[in-house]
Amino acid sequence: MDILNSVLNFIDYNFYFSLFATIPEHTDADTSLVLASILLSLVIIYFASKLGGEICARIDLPPVLGELVGGVIIGTSILGLLVFPEGMNTANNSLIMKFLQFTADVTPGNIQSIFDSQGEIISILSELGVIILLFEIGLESNLKELISVGPQSVMVAVAGVVTPFMLGTLGLTYLFHIDIIPSIFAGAALTATSIGITAKVLAELGNLSSPEGQIIIGAAVLDDILGIIVLAVVASLMKTGQVEVLNIVYLSLTAAVFLIGAIFIGRLLHPVYVKLVNKMKTRGQLLLISLCFAFVLSYIAQIIHLETILGSFAAGLVLAETEKRKELQDLIAPISDIFVPIFFVCVGAKTDLSVLNPTDPSNREGLVLAGFLILVAVIGKVISGFTIIGQSELNKLAIGVGMIPRGEVGLVFVGVGSASGVLSKPIEASIIVMVIFTTFLAPLLLRSILKEPFFTPQKQKIT
Amino acid sequence: MDILNSVLNFIDYNFYFSLFATIPEHTDADTSLVLASILLSLVIIYFASKLGGEICARIDLPPVLGELVGGVIIGTSILGLLVFPEGMNTANNSLIMKFLQFTADVTPGNIQSIFDSQGEIISILSELGVIILLFEIGLESNLKELISVGPQSVMVAVAGVVTPFMLGTLGLTYLFHIDIIPSIFAGAALTATSIGITAKVLAELGNLSSPEGQIIIGAAVLDDILGIIVLAVVASLMKTGQVEVLNIVYLSLTAAVFLIGAIFIGRLLHPVYVKLVNKMKTRGQLLLISLCFAFVLSYIAQIIHLETILGSFAAGLVLAETEKRKELQDLIAPISDIFVPIFFVCVGAKTDLSVLNPTDPSNREGLVLAGFLILVAVIGKVISGFTIIGQSELNKLAIGVGMIPRGEVGLVFVGVGSASGVLSKPIEASIIVMVIFTTFLAPLLLRSILKEPFFTPQKQKIT
């Protein structure tokens, strides 16, 4: 090849320069190093999520708790492997960037821009993760079931949203003198209920089809819808900063109209959707059409100042009613497996739990705040069980306790709150501790309550 | 809530400011608008890929061709929907950005940074797409089958790599006076063979198990391995810029050692992998462990100056030998369905085909170049069929023609070349036209050759 080079030197190829010659517009060093940092980040995220999830699965705790704690451990609070360019963080705080510098040729000037790009890209992947999570939750919901939910479930769901929200928001503003917008947001985060965790415990103890089980499941499904509307409204409040009754009414109406409108228009489009999918011949047609539908609704929700996840949730609800539901669920599962852990781990990694370190006296207020949120989170939901009038044969305590775990739904609130930048670190950390604590506590409490036979005459078996 | 606000105004909460108050570190406007632009881009990418793919599937052409052409149409050459911040492009050139500005509140100052972020993120998703594509190709390959490939296949594969590479590289440097590195790269791009397209035509005509069919499949599988080693070496040459015999030998050895080393170490780890997957209890364990393995190998390939895709291909080859192969293929298919079209469409969208517009006289040289590449692409592979000595009963023309389509493998070359920034626009456009033309031509030629009965005594049926 040396010969070729020499030959070329003889030829006057200036004439061709403008047309064919090497014009390096940009080197690929940056793009390929950013890609390398993303690959490294994903490996670490998946490792943390699986390690945490597996440990939790083995001690009978919800795996989502393990994924979150895995994120906290690799994140800014403890190991500093996965940190994001927010606040004071620079590339120097990130062990991933140090490893990249150690293994690849990165100039010190480049590392900061790689760090910024990595943070932005992982954040977007995490946002896509929560969009897909809500799409999957929507797809698993059943609108017909929801409409036939009994009045008791409606009572429990509404009380379980209103009580913790009011107690939380008023407590934070009056007792803790926190700004109104963060207070409302923290109150809203208290309204979430994770159906999966309670359903698993109920199934495990053979109580899923008991009256209590049915009320809890109905209430939790309704709670998903109420919760996501509350979240959309509150997140929108955070953007505009205007806490006025009219604004709140307007936003609530927008969210409700969007959700109901999407469902009705979606129903009209069912035949078109099924026909289109059946007529297409290329690979992945069902998945891509469904995802496009979810992304379009997410985009619309975003530009009318609601949240993207309200759009993907609505898309899931709509497609759950078509004959393609089962097939789509199977296809979306692997997508969810690779995207959702990014979200859970990032929520953990972004939260600075060191602001709640009890050995530092200046953290006392933050710890009191976390304690208050946990108290309200438990009391607010337990009360909801006792809103059922009469029916003394029902185990109302079990119903209330079944509504306690915030799980992945609580984390969606934390994720949105964190992205808004409106929450202070202690509030964010307190909310996440509340989510961890309720998710951890509920299965233990529920098991101990349901195992006492005199409380649950409908129980089918005791394990 | 107005009352609450007024109450708050009475309270001196300066004391709490540092701890609890609203500290907006950054607004979420940017992140959420970047997310919106990504959702929009993905919808457009999926739409273009499916529309193109479906049209091609209906006129009996490979769908991948449609995805590529769909990308060209929405890209910088024609519609300008999806353009990337490379060269002269600004947010003003992107219809997606204009749509975003029209539908969401974006300040003119923000739009350029959103455009840059969108370009970077879609490019990274496209790179993840090609990593997953090569992982899937590796997973579909069969090392045992490859080792048992007949000497005729080896002859055809080697001749089909060497002939177009030499003809292309020498022709470009001597006839067109193009720089040595772009010439070598274009020559390398000529070596690719897409097994899928030929296999489909052979299967359709009932010729897959004929001796010709078996030779073509064997040669194409071997060609995948040779091609990816060539690509890794050439891409590395482009990074270092040193075209010296010693450097080429060193890089080729590194690539071969990496691939063989990964396969051998991978084989030792088989039992650990299977045991780990079987012992894990949480969702998505097989998928995440396998992807982590692919990502780690990709990272290693990247930092030793080869290409990430060599790593994911090696990972696919290794995992194809385990008992989990079938299960993993089913799980990776939906992932591939959502990631790979991003890659194909981006390759099309990034290529500026207007540099080959025949109505502009200054494009004459570029058109001649494209014509030359097509000629070499066809002749180089047809010759390979005639390297089989004796065996006059074989249809050697059919074997050579079967090796012509570049398909997705050719696009991988274009993608890598484009990311390097070393190729001039006319060369890049010529390579992509060569890929389109060969992919389009081969099925037509192969069908017409195989349908003439006197050429193919082994044929089982004629459709």
Tokens 């070729």 belong to: A4
Model confidence pLDDT, tens digit, residues A347-384: 999 888 888 888 888 888 889 999 999 999 999 999 99
Helix residue spans in B141-208 (DSSP H):
143-147, 151-174, 180-189, 195-204
Say how far apart CA A220 and CA A23 lie, in whole Å: 60
**Min Cα–Cα distance to chain B from A128, Å:** 8
Which residue among A19, A181, A338 sits closest to B288, beta carbon to beta carbon?
A: A338
Q: What is the DSSP letter of A362?
A: G
Count the domains in chain B. 2
Say how far apart CA A77 and CA A83 lie, in whole Å: 9
Say how far apart CA B343 and CA B347 lie, in whole Å: 6
From B101, B122, B143, give the residue that closes a domain.
Answer: B122
Say how far apart CA A397 and CA A216 lie, in whole Å: 11
B451 lies in some domain:
yes
pLDDT at residue A288, rounded to an integer:
96
Q: Which of A4, A19, A304 to substitute to test the interface with B, most B CBs within 10 Å?
A: A19
Chain A residues with beta carbon closer than 8 angstroms to that of B336:
284
B362 lies in some domain:
yes
Q: CA B423, B312, B277 angle in degrees (round to 5)?
A: 165
> What CATH number does the domain containing A191 carry?
1.20.1530.20
Q: Which residues contact B92 (CB under 8 A, 6 or more apart)?
A: B98
pTM: 0.87
| First vs last C-alpha separation in chain B | 76
A205 with A228, same domain? yes
Residue A145: CB atoms within 10 A of its CB come to 11
Confirm if A63 and A56 have CB atoms less than 8 A apart: yes
A366 lies in some domain:
yes
Phi, psi of A7 (to 5 degrees): -55, -45
Say how far apart CA B243 and CA A4 lie, in whole Å: 10
Q: Could A178 and B21 be called an inter-chain contact, meaning their C-beta atoms sit closer than 8 Å?
A: yes
Chain A residues with beta carbon closer than 8 angstroms to that of B288:
46, 49-50, 337-338, 341
% of chain A exceeding 90 in pLDDT: 47
A211 with A263, same domain? yes
B220 lies in some domain:
yes
Report residue A408 as tokens: 């992945």
Chain A residues with beta carbon closer than 8 angstroms to that of B252:
none
A14 lies in some domain:
no
A108 with A140, same domain? no
B15 lies in some domain:
no
A232 with A254, same domain? yes
Which residue among B42, B334, B369 sits closest to A334, beta carbon to beta carbon?
A: B334
B206 with B294, same domain? yes
Chain A residues with beta carbon closer than 8 angstroms to that of B104:
302-303
B12 lies in some domain:
no
Say how far apart CA B257 and CA A156 lie, in whole Å: 64
A269 with A362, same domain? yes
Confirm if B269 and B297 have CB atoms less than 8 A apart: no
Least Cα distance to A384 among A157, A208, A190, A165 occurs for: A157
**pLDDT level of residue B455 (50, 70, 90 thresholds):** very low
Tokens 């031509």 belong to: B441
Q: Could A39 and B332 be called an inter-chain contact, meaning their C-beta atoms sit closer than 8 Å?
A: no
A260 with A321, same domain? yes
B391 with B278, same domain? yes
pLDDT at residue A454, rounded to an integer:
41
Average pLDDT rounded to a whole number, residues A265-293: 93
Q: Which residues contact A126 (CB under 8 A, 6 or more apart)?
A: A342, A343, A346, A347, A415
Tokens 């379980």 belong to: A160
Average pLDDT rounded to a whole number, residues B92-103: 90
A3 lies in some domain:
no
Q: Which residues contact B145 (CB under 8 A, 6 or more apart)?
A: B218, B221
Q: Which domain holds residue B415?
A: 127-455
**pLDDT level of residue A452 (50, 70, 90 thresholds):** low
List C-alpha distances in Å: A234 to A244, A313, A347, B33: 12, 17, 19, 18
Model confidence pLDDT, tens digit, residues B339-372: 999 999 999 998 888 888 888 888 888 899 999 9
List C-alpha distances in Å: A69 to A45, A78, A441: 12, 11, 15
Model confidence pLDDT, tens digit, residues A336-345: 999 999 999 9
pLDDT at residue B452, rounded to an integer:
60
Confirm if B20 and A427 have CB atoms less than 8 A apart: yes
Name the closest residue on chain B to residue A126, using Cα atoms: B35
Q: Which of A22, A250, A278, A422 to substitute to test the interface with B, most B CBs within 10 Å?
A: A22
Least Cα distance to B103 among A303, A171, A460, A74 occurs for: A303
Q: Could A31 and B419 be called an inter-chain contact, meaning their C-beta atoms sit closer than 8 Å?
A: yes
* A458: pLDDT strictly greater than 50: no
Burial class (CB in 10 A: 0-12, 13-18, 19+), B54: middle
A321 with A380, same domain? yes
Confirm if A86 and A6 have CB atoms less than 8 A apart: no
Say how far apart CA B60 and CA B442 lie, in whole Å: 12
Q: Could A180 and B1 be called an inter-chain contact, meaning their C-beta atoms sit closer than 8 Å?
A: yes
Q: Look at phi and psi of residue B80 and say left if phi exceeds 0, alpha if psi is from -120 to 50, else beta.
A: left
**pLDDT level of residue B449 (50, 70, 90 thresholds):** confident
Q: Which residues of A271-303 are buried (b: 16+ CB within 10 A; e: fewer)?
A: eebeeebeebebbbbbbbbbbbbbbbbbbbbbb
A55 with A139, same domain? no
Model confidence pLDDT, tens digit, residues A36-93: 999 999 999 999 999 999 999 998 888 888 999 999 999 988 999 999 987 678 888 8
**Min Cα–Cα distance to chain B from A408, Å:** 15
**Min Cα–Cα distance to chain A from B261, Å:** 19
Chain A and chain B share a number of CB contacts under 8 A equal to 294
pLDDT at residue B117, rounded to an integer:
93
List C-alpha distances in Å: B350 to B75, B273, B418, B421: 6, 39, 8, 12
* B223: pLDDT strictly greater than 50: yes
B64 with B193, same domain? no
* B170: pLDDT strictly greater than 70: yes
Say how far apart CA A434 and CA A378 lie, in whole Å: 9
Q: What is the DSSP letter of A358?
A: T
pLDDT at residue A304, rounded to an integer:
87
Q: Could B365 and A16 be called an inter-chain contact, meaning their C-beta atoms sit closer than 8 Å?
A: yes
Average pLDDT rounded to a whole number, residues B152-175: 93
B280 with B297, same domain? yes
DSSP string, B341-405: HHHHHHHHHH--GGGG-TTSGGGHHHHHHHHHHHHHHHHHHHHHHTTS-S-TTS-HHHHHHHT--
**Min Cα–Cα distance to chain A from B227, Å:** 20
Confirm if B192 and B218 have CB atoms less than 8 A apart: no
From B88, B122, B156, give the residue that closes a domain.
Answer: B122
From A100, A120, A140, give the residue that closes a domain.
Answer: A120
